[in-house]
Amino acid sequence: MKILRGAPNHEVLDLDYWLTASALERFIREELYGRGYQKAVVAVSGGVDSAVTLALAARALGPENVHALSLPHRDSSPESSAHARLVTGRFGVELETVEITPMVEGYAEQTPNITPRRKGNVMARARMIVVFDKSEQYHALPLGTGNKTERLFGYFTWHADDSPPVNPLGDLYKTQVWGLAEYLKVPDEIVHKAPTADLEPGQTDEADLGVRYRRADVILEHYLKGYPDDYIVGLGYSPEEVALVKRRVNRTHYKRHLPAVALVSSTAIGEFYLRPLDFRTED
């Protein structure tokens, strides 16, 4: 007699990458066209998130309608710029380089005790100054490149990486971005290198976070869906990992919201007065 076993029944992160890519391409087109834009600006760091965003944008809009920006600082790893060139070459998008060193150092010179961490945040915000200015110059909308894992961890510079108005990857875990990158044929050296914000020399995401992305993503998915800790531990994760992931999520909710506003009326925006961001009337 045959003994047949059912498939595991826990939450899985597997995606159909053809479906995901085609939906995200459509999302980019419709969100841009609906706002009166035909073109996009993407800051390309040399990492996998911006590489995937660039690939999707090129497929959605045509490479000629995508402005890729490399925004190095003198302390940035040379590999980052090389990988930015590699990925734009792969997807046929022209790359414009704007050095942010003078912007950042102009501020840093006036701030003698600035720490590497603070300077890293200034770099990220300087990059957004350039991105939004280039957006106006080219009448092209900035695309965000942040993924769901870093958004949940608050692992980004506030009012910098999270600023662009349209973000195709914001609901994909890092694990899923890697899968999509392979489907889109992002160069292997970009997909397989250790993820880094490259804001400080030698920095890597997973060392900063204290947990591997592939493990964190499974924990996150179960935590977000309301599974208790014991269930997650039963899947092979340590109580310490689960606690770390939950702590990072719950210390950073403010980074995923608009600022707290003192409520004094029954028409407070976003509390009583609720309209979706695409709402409009004919008047």
Partner 1 sequence: MVRHALLQLKPQKGLIGRNLEHLQQALEKLKDENVDVAVVPEAYPTGYFLQGGVRELALEAAELEDRLGGWHTDNYQKPLDLIIGFYERDGGSYYNTAAYFELGGRGLIHRHRKIFLPTYGVFDEERFLDRGHELTSFETRFGRAAMLICEDFWHTITATLAALQGAEIIYVPSASPARGFGGPAPANVERWETLARAVSGEHGLYVALASLVGSEAGKLMSGGSLIAGPEGEVLARAPEFEEAVLLADVDLERIPPVRYDNPMLADLKAGLPLIFPELRKVVEEL
Interacting residues toward partner 1 by CB under 8 A: 12, 14-16, 18-20, 22-23, 26-27, 30-31, 34, 273-282
The residue among 31 and 205 lying less far from partner 1, judged by its C-beta, is: 31
Nearest distance in Å: CB 190, partner 1: 23
Nearest distance in Å: CB 81, partner 1: 31
Which pairs with CB-CB distance under 8 Å and at least 24 residues apart come from 219-222?
Answer: 219/245, 220/148, 220/149, 220/152, 220/173, 220/245, 220/249, 221/11, 221/13, 221/173, 222/10, 222/11
The residue among 254 and 272 lying less far from partner 1, judged by its C-beta, is: 272
Nearest distance in Å: CB 181, partner 1: 16
The residue among 94 and 171 lying less far from partner 1, judged by its C-beta, is: 171
Closest to 90 measured CA to CA, from 48, 30, 138: 48
Nearest distance in Å: CB 278, partner 1: 4
The residue among 30 and 189 lying less far from partner 1, judged by its C-beta, is: 30
**Nearest-5° Cα angle at 28, 160 to 221:** 70
Q: Point out which residues pair with 95 in neighbouring strands.
A: 68
The residue among 257 and 280 lying less far from partner 1, judged by its C-beta, is: 280
Nearest distance in Å: CB 234, partner 1: 22
The residue among 135 and 167 lying less far from partner 1, judged by its C-beta, is: 167
**C-alpha to C-alpha distances, 207 to 110, 128, 150, 194, nearest whole angstrom:** 31, 25, 14, 10
Nearest distance in Å: CB 236, partner 1: 21
